[in-house]
Amino acid sequence: MAPATGGPMRLSPKVLLIDPVRMLPSLLLPLVGVLFVGGFSTRSFVWAALGVLGTVVYAVVRWATFSYRIIGDRLEIKRSLISRSVRTIPIERIRGVDVSTPPMHRLLGLAVLKLDTGAGGGEEEGELDGLTVEEAERLKSVLLRRAPSPAVAPAETPANPAHAGYPEHPGHHPGNPEHPGGAVFPGHSGYLAHPGHPAHSERAGHSGRPGYPEHSREQGERVIIRVPRAWLVYGPLSGAYLLTPFALAGGAIGLAFQWGDELGFGRDAAWSLGEWLWQRPYLLLAAVVLLVVAMPFVGGVMYAVFNWDFTLKHRDGYLVAERGLVNRRSVSLESRRVRGYELADGLAERWAGVVRAWAIVTGLGDSRARGQLLPDVPRAVAEQVTSTAIGPYTAPLRPHPPVARDRRLFRAVAPWLALAASAALVAVLTQVGGWWALVALALLLAAVGVPLGLDRYHSLGHGYDGVRLSVRSGSLRRAQAVVERRAVVGWRMRQTWFQRRAGVLTLTAGVGAGQGGYSAIDVSWDQAVSFPSEVTPDWLAPFVVHPEPRQNP
């Protein structure tokens, strides 16, 4: 139980240097309007100064009427600016605590602490913006402190005899008998050490090499992996950052339209500029080419800014991921709530042999951002890190029936063949040669669809190793989820009309974590029955009918 504090505590007064600056963007347009209306006279400047002064006073009053404190086993956050508001958060409900340091906060030695209880609809339930870095770290350790938990029951015995005697804890790796407390990356010089193993201290001096852990002096903390900066070159392969130039261009255009009237550019001027560019298509083409060329460079820079010095640690029962160059962010995930992980890669990432990783955690809001375990790293490294931090998956994935391949080939090829046939018919009827170019393009896309459909089929798979189950699907974005058996809360079988015609269905394992369910797509009826029976045999035993043995006459 957390100790009670002596009294209400306030944010650092230094935050008063940040709040007015953050409010200025929302006041910019009104201030510009006041100056324009007043003709930039002394009176207009006085009103503008009064507006800025009012912003400062509002920030001071808001700071003075905000307090927080820990009382027993709960955190209380009070606001009394206009109406009194008291928010009470039981410490036992806190799933994670994020500490970030935006640029202005870092200059002043401040931090933002956000709480996640899994009950805020994807948003943080509490936020303390303006703590000193020392107070944020102290408060984080208090909020994440747990009373001694009862003895953990032994890991369930795997159903597969091959896993007998293989304990379920992240430090064990059956393929590495030489180092029972760690594992060597296949084809990689890095080493992940389990705490307490002699190799952990022996290899602590190799912290500068990629993948090697760094032994922290803080008690109860060990670095699982520090992603080398050289691996930031994989950033442009991530599709999430490639469209950054187009997003920036779209934002600039929207900003110009929003501020156009205040800056003297009305709708007529915007339309005139658009018509002028339309009459000069080579300028539009040059702009598009410039944006396309800038995609890998700008995307790589944005990727580096968000994932700079990515470090994954294990600290006092929590997985802690730290990353960021401009805004340094630290996310803590309670290990006992982690139920598995997900590996994802796109076509370009697969070609380079890199993947990204997320944790599957119960009661985690904004899991796509907060649950990230690794940025783009080599697949062998990602598999070893997830095995060390969470647990390994050791069984091969089982293929899906051939009809699943036929369905993917049909969907990847048939639409383009239909478009080619329609365009060819129109070209013959109208005698317009331009339609034949569309026919050629459609046939080319149909040819490209063949390897894409085959890749989508080969990406399908599901399996179970006695402790964890895994499902995989996708091509443009292939994702493989690995989930502990104990996380499965139910099964769902679903068939579309086309699946009924093909004799396949989608089997979804309901999980009280992550996305809530992970699906094996286009499995046969035999697989849909045998897989749940293998993973959760006790659930289905009452519904399984065994044939009676024949009696000899």
316's CB contacts (< 8 A; 6+ apart) are 141, 144, 220, 221
CB 479 within 8 A of CB 473: yes
Per-residue model confidence (pLDDT) at position 279: 75
Quick check: helix, strand or coil at residue 285?
Answer: helix
- pTM for the full model? 0.72
Which residue did the predictor score with more confidence, 184 or 393? 393
Whole-angstrom CA distances from 260 to 23, 33, 153, 245, 545 are 21, 13, 66, 22, 73
What is the C-alpha separation between 258 and 477, in angstroms, rounded? 35
Q: Pick the more confident residue, 422 or 59.
A: 422
Residue 381 has pLDDT above 70, yes or no: yes
- Specify the higher pLDDT residue, 475 or 240: 475
Six-digit token pair at 425? 């018919």
Measured in degrees and rounded to the nearest 5, phi and psi for residue 331 equal -115, 130
The percent of the chain in helix, strand and coil, each rounded to the nearest 5, is: 45, 25, 30
Query: Under a CB-based contact definition with an 8 Å cutoff, are residues 374 and 447 in contact?
Result: no
Mean pLDDT of 397-414: 95
Is residue 276 predicted with pLDDT exceeding 50? yes
Nearest alpha carbon to residue 200 among 186, 174, 180, 170: 180
| pLDDT of res. 45 | 65
Residue 295 binned pLDDT confidence (cut-offs 50, 70, 90)? confident
How wide is the angle at C-alpha 373 spanned by C-alphas 367 and 379, nearest 5°? 125
Sequence-ordered list of residues with C-beta below 8 angstroms from that of 118, at least 6 positions apart, any chain: 93, 95, 362, 363, 364, 365
Q: For residues 131 and 74, give the distance between their C-alpha atoms in angstroms, rounded to a whole number.
A: 19
Q: How many CB atoms lie within 10 A of CB 415?
A: 14
The pLDDT-based confidence of 60 (bands split at 50, 70, 90) is: confident
Q: What backbone phi and psi angles, to 5 degrees, belong to 131?
A: -80, 150
So what CATH class is 13-143? mainly beta
Non-local (6+) Cβ contacts of 73 within 8 A are 1, 2, 90, 91, 92
Q: What is the spatial distance between Cα 504 and Cα 86, in angstroms, rounded to a whole number?
A: 54
* 40 Rama sector, left if φ>0, alpha if ψ -120 to 50, beta otherwise: left
* Cα separations in angstroms, 40 against 37, 44, 259, 266, 403: 8, 6, 19, 21, 75
Tens of pLDDT, residues 190-205: 334 333 333 333 333 3
Look over the chain and give the mean of its residue pLDDT values, rounded to a whole number.
77
CB 94 within 8 A of CB 143: yes
- The mean per-residue pLDDT over the stretch 415-439 comes to 89
DSSP sequence for 337-348? GEEEEEEEEEHH
The backbone torsions φ and ψ at residue 226, rounded to the nearest 5 degrees and listed phi first, read -115, 115
- Dist. CA 150–CA 26, nearest whole Å: 52
Tokens of 442: 């459609």
For β-strands 183-184 and 126-132, DSSP reports them as: unpaired
The answer for residues whose C-beta is within 8 angstroms of residue 174's C-beta and 6 or more apart is 166, 392, 394
| pLDDT (mean) for 109-128 | 74
Domain boundaries, the chain: 13-143, 180-227+309-389, 234-305, 402-543
CA within 13 Å, CB half, 275: 6
Is the pLDDT higher at 316 or at 536?
A: 536
Cα angle: 381, vertex 384, 390; to 5 degrees: 130
Q: Which residue has the tokens 């944005």?
A: 302
- pLDDT tens string 243-254: 776 777 776 666
Distance between CA atoms of residues 371 and 385, nearest Å: 15
Spell out the SS3 assignment of 212-260.
CCCCCCCCCEEEEEECCHHHHHHHHHCHHHHCHHHHHHHHHHHHHHHHC
Residue 492, pLDDT score:
94
In angstroms, rounded to a whole number, what is the distance separating the alpha carbons of residues 127 and 206? 38
Q: Which residue has the tokens 């994954």?
A: 312
Report d(CA 353, CA 333) in Å as an integer. Answer: 27
Q: Which helix (H) or strand (E) holds 138?
A: helix 133-143
Residue whose pair of structure tokens reads 């890199």 in the numeric block? 354
